[in-house]
Amino acid sequence: MATTRAEVDAILIGVGLVGAILGRELTRAGLRVVGLERGAPRHTVPDFQGPQMHDELRYATRKALMQDNTRETYTFRHTIKDTALPIRRWASFLPGTGLGGSMVHWNGQTFRFQDHDFQQYSHTVARYGKKFIQPDVTIQDWGVTAAELEPHFDRFEYLLGTSGKAGNIKGKKIPGGNIFEDPRSREYPTPPQKEPYGSAIFRKAAEGLGYHAYPQPSCNLSQPYTNPEGLTLNTCTFCGYCERFACEHFAKSTPQTVLLPLLLNDSKFELRTGCQVLHINVDNSGKTATGVTYVDASGKEIELRASLIIVGAYATNNARLLLLSKIGAPYDPETNKGVVGRNYAYQTMSYPQVFYDESININPFMRSGANGTMIADFAGDNFDHGSLGFIGGAYIGEIMTNGRPIGFHPTPPGTPSWGVKWKQAVVRHYNHTSTINVHGSSVATRWNYLDLDPTYKDAWGLPLLRMTFDFPENDIRMSAYCTQKTIEIGKQMGGKLVTGSPRKRPYDITEYQTTHNTGGTIMGADPSTSVVNRYLQSWDVPNVFVIGASNFPQNASYNPTDTVGALAYWSADAIVTKYLKSPGPLMNK
């Protein structure tokens, strides 16, 4: 039987980005908070130190920082007609685990979604008409605007110390920044990082074609920075071990570097690691959560009671936890009813490559996670889609992150995959190749969704999450268009050969693409098509707030973390200024 412990004011499920922000805001508001983290307590010193951190095999190939898939993975299938099978080894996406969550191993790419992303349904209907949206595409509005989120984006970026160049301050467009962005209230906290060689070549080519090149906004900092919490970060050294790794230099903005030292010192906060939450407990009314049941590191099952529950695990795990807790109606694609698991979306990637002459030393190992130069001319709805037959788009950039050779040893098409010719091609091209990212959006559809698997279980005997996903026709067309535009830029970059093909079906979980899994607990204005309201509060159980990329009704062209951080501050603000004064639903059903 579960042991009952004394009640606390609030429980955080997961102590990553969302947990750290909510923990800080709720303790500041006077609440006693317990953070439940399934993984290990991890700190820059001693856990992330060099040179041991610079180990490609351990961290990038064998994925040492990721969710323990031997105990808890997902099952995957393309369509409801297929049988889902477990993802037995991580590849396509890499959820993290442990204190700091996936933000420990992120690259630091820090983008605001645009207002037309937040209003994607109504914006598309207004500009192109309802018929422009393909059948079964279930995009919808988020229930918030970019203007409402701006102060929260601003706060989050100043917490992180993001290095970038504004393209629009209070409505004034600024050349050299992203001129497509919505107005921001002020410049980035720190200037852009240095521009690597391949990125400079891309800039020249893109500008020559009339596009608006700008430095990628980065949380690998360009200079030392002290954030409003009083924590200082260092300058990034371009070591080439960023994504999939933790930073030993205090140069990447993570919960460890921007918040946790304060939170962990706060007497109102208690961190419990090695604690796997099994489910949220709901009372007989079905409308109030009483706490959670978790298994601690020694295997003991414990019930912890609290009046407020913050679900801040990885996106897909947020959806699974609600399904296991029976909070919200599970989505059923056949009836098109229910909400939890609905609108799972991803990212539609392609990677053209430019092969240069041997006189061009690209030095791919001198890179940071979020450096480089890009354009947003083909992101979201920044271009006219009228004659194109799809919605969404991609940012395009020479934003290479590393030259780690197990993963990066490019060869031109037609090269054998082993033997003398392969080896000679690797030697010839390793230091003379640029990869260009085409980072495409992902629409939601009726048939891409998450639910509980009927067969496979985790180490605690609970059903795994089942992912049903393949790339929608809309996104296949988007990728074809944006990849072609990228190849045109690549041809202006002075290479001998430009290669690359757009994303095609079927989705392959054995190929790394991105760790940008979105949806499943989406936000919105209508309880029949969303799990949480605009403040990320459960429609069904109002003392449960669910926060993360699981809130995205569909995914935009940009990386998700900045928008997750802004949503976390937006929700925290609503909890502190509205909910705590009068606990109950913040929106009427």
Partner 1 sequence: MEKISRRSFLQGAGVAAAAIVAPACDRGTQQLATQRTRYAFFTADEAAFIEAAVERLIPADETGPGALDADVPVFIDRQLAGAWGAGADLYRSGPWRSGKPEQGYQLPFTPAELFRNALRAIGEDLRKAERGSFAKLKAEDQDAYLRTLESKSRDLGGVPSNVFFESLLEITIEGFFSDPVYGGNKNMIGWKLIGFPGAYANFYEFVDQHGIAFKRPPMSLSQDASGTVHLHPVTAPRGAAKETDAKSK
Give the catalytic positions in this structure. 516
Under a CB-based contact definition with an 8 Å cutoff, are residues 526 and 324 in contact? no
Angular region, 230: left φ>0, alpha ψ -120 to 50, beta rest = left
Of 129, 208, 224, 584, which one interacts with partner 1 (CB under 8 A)?
224
84-113 residues in contact with partner 1 (CB under 8 A) are: 85-91
* Contact letters for partner 1, residues 502-531 (x by CB under 8 A): ----xxxxx---------------------
Our CB check for partner 1 shows the closer of 250 and 558 to be 250
Nearer to partner 1, 7 or 266 (CB): 266
Q: How far is the CB of 71 from partner 1 (least distance, A)?
A: 8
Nearest distance from residue 51's CB to partner 1, in Å? 4
Residue 189 interacts with partner 1 (CB under 8 A): yes or no: yes
User: What is the rounded distance in angstroms from the CA atom of residue 400 to the CA atom of residue 172?
Assistant: 30
| 29, 209, 329, 426: which one binds partner 1 (CB under 8 A) | 426
The yes or no reply on residue 576 touching partner 1 (CB under 8 A) is no
- Yes or no: say if 258 and 159 are a contact pair by the CB < 8 Å rule: yes
Phi-psi region for residue 536, left (φ > 0), alpha (ψ -120 to 50) or beta? left
Give me the least distance between CB of 552 and partner 1, in Å please: 24
Closer to partner 1 by Cβ: residue 177 or 189: 189
Q: What does the block give as tokens for 411?
A: 């060869």
Nearest CA among 321, 471, 443, 335 for reference residue 381? 443
**Residue written as token pair 């049988």:** 83
Find the part of the chain contacting partner 1 (CB under 8 A) among 108-116, 373-381, 419-427, 446-454. Answer: 419-427
Please classify residue 480 by burial: count the beta carbons closer than 10 Å to its beta carbon, then call 0-12 exposed, 13-18 middle and 19+ buried.
middle
Structure-block tokens of residue 530 = 């969303």
Give the shortest CB-13-to-partner 1 separation in angstroms. Answer: 22
**Binding pattern to partner 1, positions 292-321, x when CB under 8 A?**
------------------------------
Q: Which one of the spans 122-130, 341-349, 359-367, 391-399 is the region binding partner 1 (CB under 8 A)?
A: 359-367
Site string for partner 1, 40-79 (x = CB under 8 A): ----xxx--xxxx-xxxx---xxx-----xx--x--xxx-
* Smaller CB separation from partner 1, 71 or 337: 71
Q: Does the protein bind partner 1 through residue 415 (CB under 8 A)?
A: no
527 vs 166: CA distance, rounded Å: 36
Q: Which one, of 311, 320, 322, lies nearest residue 282 by Cα? A: 322
- Shortest separation between residue 301's beta carbon and partner 1, angstroms: 21
Residue 175 class from Cβ within 10 Å (0-12 exposed, 13-18 middle, 19+ buried)? exposed
- Nearest distance, CB of residue 327 and partner 1, angstroms: 26
Shortest reach from residue 241's CB to partner 1, in Å: 8
Q: Which stretch binds partner 1 (CB under 8 A): 206-214, 346-354, 452-460, 576-584?
A: 452-460
Q: Which of 8, 17, 103, 231 binds partner 1 (CB under 8 A)?
A: 231
Q: Which helix (H) or strand (E) holds 433?
A: strand 433-435
Residues in 155-184 at the binding interface with partner 1, rule: CB under 8 A: 158, 161
Say whether residue 537 binds partner 1 (CB under 8 A): no
> Is 418 an interacting residue with respect to partner 1 (CB under 8 A)?
yes
Minimum CB distance to partner 1, residue 109 (Å): 17
CA torsion through residues 22, 27, 31, 32, sign: positive
Residues 6+ apart with CB under 8 A from 417: none
| E strands, 148-201, in order | 168-169, 172-173
For residue 542, say if its preceding peptide bond is cis, omega within 30 degrees of 0: no
To partner 1, the closest distance from the beta carbon of 86 in angstroms equals 5
Site for partner 1 contains 379 (CB under 8 A): no
In the bound state with partner 1, the residue whose beta carbon lies nearer, of 127 and 423, is 423
Q: Which window, 231-239, 331-339, 444-452, 549-557, contacts partner 1 (CB under 8 A)?
A: 231-239
Closer residue to partner 1 in complex, CB, 372/548: 372
Nearer to partner 1, 159 or 280 (CB): 159
Please return the burial class of 268, using the count of CB atoms within 10 Å of its CB with bins 0-12, 13-18 and 19+. Answer: middle
Give the residue, chosen from 3, 7, 80, 82, that forms a contact with partner 1 under the rule CB under 8 A: 82
Q: How many residues of this chain bind partner 1 (CB under 8 A)?
A: 97
Distances in Å between the Cα of 165 and the Cα atoms of 162, 176, 204, 222, 311 are: 10, 7, 18, 12, 33
Q: Helix, strand or coil for residue 303?
A: strand
| Phi, psi for 66 (deg, rounded to 5) | -95, 165
In three-state secondary structure terms, 455 is strand
Instruction: State the Cα–Cα distance between residues 91 and 250, nearest whole angstrom.
Output: 27
User: What per-residue string of b and e applies to 241-257 under the rule 16 or more CB within 10 Å gives b?
Assistant: bbbbbbbbbbbbbbbbb
Interface residue with partner 1, options 184, 244, 249, 342 (CB under 8 A): 249
| Residue 501 binding partner 1, by CB under 8 A | no
Q: Which of 160, 366, 394, 438 binds partner 1 (CB under 8 A)?
A: 366
